[in-house]
Every structure is written in structure tokens, then in C-alpha cells.
Chains A and B, each alone.
Chain A
Amino acid sequence: MSDAPPSNLHRYPPRTLVADYARAGLGMALTLGPLASFNAETVMVYILGGLGALFGAFGLRTFLRHMTYVEISPREIRMRGPVGRGVRWQGLDELTLKYYTTQRDKHGGWMELKLKGDGCVMTIDSSIEGFADIAGEALAAARAKRLPLGDDTRANLAALGLAPDDDPAERA
């Protein structure tokens, strides 16, 4: 029996998760390790403590991602896991697709898909498996509801190979 999830289930890939766990662990070791040798009144305690908490939070986020998968059905998109939530396609109010990069040539960046609706917000990182498919489903729902899309979102969808102005039937 294959372990591969059905095509409507999307997870963060193990390779990304392992790298993130390693970062969190290394960060906590480097910050919380030396903390024991400091005098409680030293300002370094607060700096290292704050950084240690940040790496701890990152480790927790990685764990939550590890335990979470995104399920897409004709009715809704749902994150299943410890902090589960979902948005019905009919209840979708806003779709934004942002691209972040720190390089002037616009390379080496990452995307963030944000879906708002049914009183909740879902943010999905582009490192998830099948990100373009998720974005495609969200676009189809947004188009069905005739939601307005921002210029940046439209351009980023186009960069994923999704034409925001075309009819999906025509595209197929």
C-alpha cells in the first residue's frame, strides 16, 4: 500500500520540515546554552532569552506544520491538524498571493497565499507540496464569486501559470 496522500491532500515536504527542525534546534542550543552562564542582571540574558524564545516558537510552528495537512474538496479548503480551520469556497471573501524577496533581481523569494472567509484567515506558504494546485483552486473559487484581485496577486498568479482573467474551462 502506498503512503502517498490523495491528490487533494497537501503536506509540507519532509525535507523542508527536517531543515526547519534543525534550524530551531541549533538556534535554541546556541541561545539557551550560554544563557546558564550569565548573571541574571546582564542585558545579554534578555537578548539571548528573547532569541531562544523566537527559535522555540519557530520549532513549535514547524511541529504544527508537520502535523498539519491541507485538504481540498469541492466544498471547502481545510487545514487538518492541531490548529485546524477551514474556509468554504462559497464563504471566501479575499484572496491575496504575495511574493517576498530580499534580492533586487527578484530571485530566491517565496510566496504566501492568504485566504480570508467564514471568519478565519488561512496562510499557506509556497514550500507546501502542490502549492500551484491550491492557488488554482482558490483562484477558481474567487473567480466564481467574482472577487476583486489586487494587481500584485494577479501578476503572481500569472507567474504560477494561472491566468486570473481567463475562464478555467477555456484554460482546460
Chain B
Amino acid sequence: MFGYTVHRLLIMVPTLLAISLITFVIIQLPPGDYLSTYVAELESQGETVNAAKIEFLRQQYGFDKPMHEQYLLWLAGMFKGDFGYSFEFNLPVTEVVGDRLWLSFLVSFTTILFTWVVSFPIGVYSATHQYSWADYGLTFVGFLGLATPNFLLALVLLYVANVVFGTSIGGLMDPRFLDQAWSVEKFVSVLEHLWIPVLVIGTSGTAGMIRRLRANLLDELEKQYVVTARAKGLHPFRALCKYPLRMSLNPFIADIGNLLPQVISGAAIVSVVLSLPTTGPMLLNALRTQDMYLAGSFLLFLAVLTVIGVFISDLLLAVLDPRIRLRGEALR
């Protein structure tokens, strides 16, 4: 297992280099750059643009250099912890991201937890009580969650939270805490606001997870080894937990590869509707305005999380999934 871990870690290096190159090229592909977008915006507002100043900024930001040189400078900077400069915010990328990263992590991690905690027991119950009234009811609720647009649910919950609980509209905390240092009151305010995005983003994920877990577990429960175990008088709970449940957990584990980048990117549209200070809207805006180092750093970070997530899920699958080697297969 140790050898495999090292082997996979080494493969990550060329993978991430390739992703960083592709990301950088794609961000540069649209015609123009951040400054030309900026100039066009000023001109559309009827403002005059100082050509000399723009040329100075172009040299200052390195836009006059060839693309490969810009890429290598960006890459070399990253090895020193410098992820570049955000033109729009006039700040280093690390400072721009700042608190947003942690708030995104909080929202997304709680959402993932909510999804797993809710979907796991429901999925198991639905599979073990197939075609019962409870199964039909939970399936109906699941489909309802899957079919309801998140932004609509967000608006409804914002209204309910404001009218019933007096929670301020939008954001992840009361406006009075926005520029204050972290305190118990600020944390409580975050918790008061947190349940809305968690419920909104988590509902659709929960419904999908319930359906997948139910389908996987039903497949396993119909296999011969489970029938044999039951016929031999094994307790139903043990016959469920010993292998079928472990096998049906595969989608949960395999999903880690997708979940980790979601922790950071979050649900951008819901974040915009709920005015959440998370990273999703910022990434969207950075891509729109061609703020290339901010967007590039974000996308590379998401790629790193994807690669790490897939790596973790592969390791967990190898350890948790009881495997038997097939006859006649050559060993490594």
C-alpha cells in the first residue's frame, strides 16, 4: 500500500503540471486581457482612457510578455507561495481569497455532512423496506428535493427565516459583524445563517445520494451470498452489515473525488442568490473579467483538490472493499 501511495503521489506531479498549463492557456484564449476589458468598460461609461497609463500597466502586470513566459513566472511564483496578483482587487490573490476560503469550506463541509447524515439512514431504510409506504414517501420527498430548483428554495427559505426567525436577509452573518474580528457572537450569527445554504444546497445532493445508495444496496441484497446467509439463519442485521452495506458504500467513497473541489467552489448560483461571501461567485467574476491569476489559482486549487480526492477515494476503496483476487491473473 505504501508503494502504491508513493506511486500515485508521483503521478500527481505531471497531472497537475498539465492541468495548470491547460488552465492557463484556456484563461488566455479569449481575445484581449484584463486591461482591454477594463478599458472597454471605462469607454462604455463615457470615461477617457489614458493610453500611456494603460501601456504602463500592461508592462507592470507582464501582459506584454509572451504567454509561455507569463505561465512560467506564475508557476515559479507558486513555488514561493505567491499565487499572483488580482487586478480587479489590486491585492495579492492570497489576500483576496482570505476569509472566503474558510467560509466556503464551512458551508460546503456542513452541506456534505448534512447530505451523508440524512441520506445514509434513509437510503438503507428505503432499500430494506422496498415498496413499503415509507419507501414511497421518502422516494417522493427525494424526487421533490431533486426537482426543486435550488435558487427557488433559497428565496423561499430566506423569506421564512426572515419572517419566522428574524434572520437578516442574505449573507452568512449579521451585517454588523462583517468587518469585526471573530467572536462567539459572530460565530453564533454564522450558525444562525448557515442552515439556509446547507439545506438549499444539501437537498438535491441528498436526494441523489438516497437514490444511488438504495439502488446499490438493492442490487447487493438480491445476490446469492446474501440469500445463502439468510437461509443459514444469519441475523438480518448482520446479514445486512457484514458485506452488502460495505459494498453499497462504494458510491459514498468514490464521491470524495467530486466532493473535495465542491468544498471550495460551492454552489455558485445559490451563493449569488443568498449573497454568500464564498468563493463560488468570486471565481465566476474572475473568469468573466479575465482576472487571470485569481481565476487560474482558483481553478488550479480545484484541480489539486480533485486529484487529492480521487487519490483518497482510491486508497479507501482498496482498504475498505474486501477484494478477492481472480484466478490466473498476473501479480504486479
A residues adjacent to B (C-beta < 8 A): 20, 23-24, 26-27, 30, 34, 37-39, 42-44, 51, 54-55, 58, 61, 99-102, 106-112, 125-127, 131, 152, 155-156, 158-160
Q: Shortest distance in angstroms between B12's beta carbon and chain A's nearest beta carbon?
A: 10
Which residue of the partner chain, among A23, A51, A110, A155, contacts B324 with CB atoms under 8 Å?
Answer: A155
A-B contact pairs, 28 of them (CB 8 A): A20-B6, A23-B7, A27-B9, A30-B10, A37-B79, A42-B80, A54-B5, A99-B323, A99-B324, A100-B318, A100-B319, A100-B323, A101-B325, A102-B315, A107-B326, A109-B325, A110-B331, A125-B3, A126-B332, A127-B331, A152-B322, A152-B323, A155-B325, A156-B324, A156-B325, A159-B326, A159-B328, A160-B325
* Chain B 1-32 per-residue mask, 1 if CB under 8 angstroms from chain A, else 0: 11111110110010000000000000000000
A159 touching B329 in the complex, CB below 8 Å, given contacts A26-B10, A100-B1, A110-B4: yes
| B81 proximity list for chain A (CB < 8 A) | 38-39, 42-44
Task: Give the most central of A110, A127, A152: most B CB within 10 Å.
Answer: A110
A131 touching B324 in the complex, CB below 8 Å, given contacts A30-B13, A38-B81, A101-B318: no
Q: Enumerate the 4 nearest inter-chain pairs by beta-carbon distance, A residue then B residue, closest first.
A: A42-B81, A99-B325, A155-B324, A159-B325
A125 vs B314: C-alpha distance when bound (angstroms): 19
Is B327 in the interface zone, CB < 8 Å from A? Answer: yes
| B323 proximity list for chain A (CB < 8 A) | 99-101, 106, 109, 152
Which residue of chain B is the closest to A160 with respect to CB atoms?
Answer: B325
A105 vs B81: C-alpha distance when bound (angstroms): 41
> Beyond the given A42-B80, A54-B9, A110-B4, could you list 17 further A-B residue pairs with CB under 8 A, ordered by the A residue number?
A23-B6, A26-B10, A27-B9, A30-B10, A38-B79, A39-B81, A42-B81, A99-B325, A102-B318, A106-B329, A109-B332, A111-B325, A111-B331, A112-B1, A126-B331, A159-B326, A159-B328
| A23 proximity list for chain B (CB < 8 A) | 6-7, 10
A159 vs B324: C-alpha distance when bound (angstroms): 8
Number of A-B contacts (CB under 8 A): 93
| A159 proximity list for chain B (CB < 8 A) | 324-329
| B3 proximity list for chain A (CB < 8 A) | 20, 58, 110, 125, 127
B residues adjacent to A (C-beta < 8 A): 1-7, 9-10, 13, 79-81, 314-315, 317-319, 322-329, 331-332
Which residue of chain B is the closest to A43 with respect to CB atoms?
Answer: B81
| A112 proximity list for chain B (CB < 8 A) | 1
Beta-carbon contact of B6 and A102 below 8 Å: no
Beta-carbon contact of A106 and B325 below 8 Å: yes
Which residue of chain A is the closest to B311 with respect to CB atoms?
Answer: A102
| A55 proximity list for chain B (CB < 8 A) | 6, 9
A76 vs B323: C-alpha distance when bound (angstroms): 29
Which residue of chain B is the closest to A159 with respect to CB atoms?
Answer: B325
Beta-carbon contact of A127 and B329 below 8 Å: no
| A27 proximity list for chain B (CB < 8 A) | 6, 9-10
Beta-carbon contact of A24 and B326 below 8 Å: no
| B319 proximity list for chain A (CB < 8 A) | 100
A120 vs B328: C-alpha distance when bound (angstroms): 32
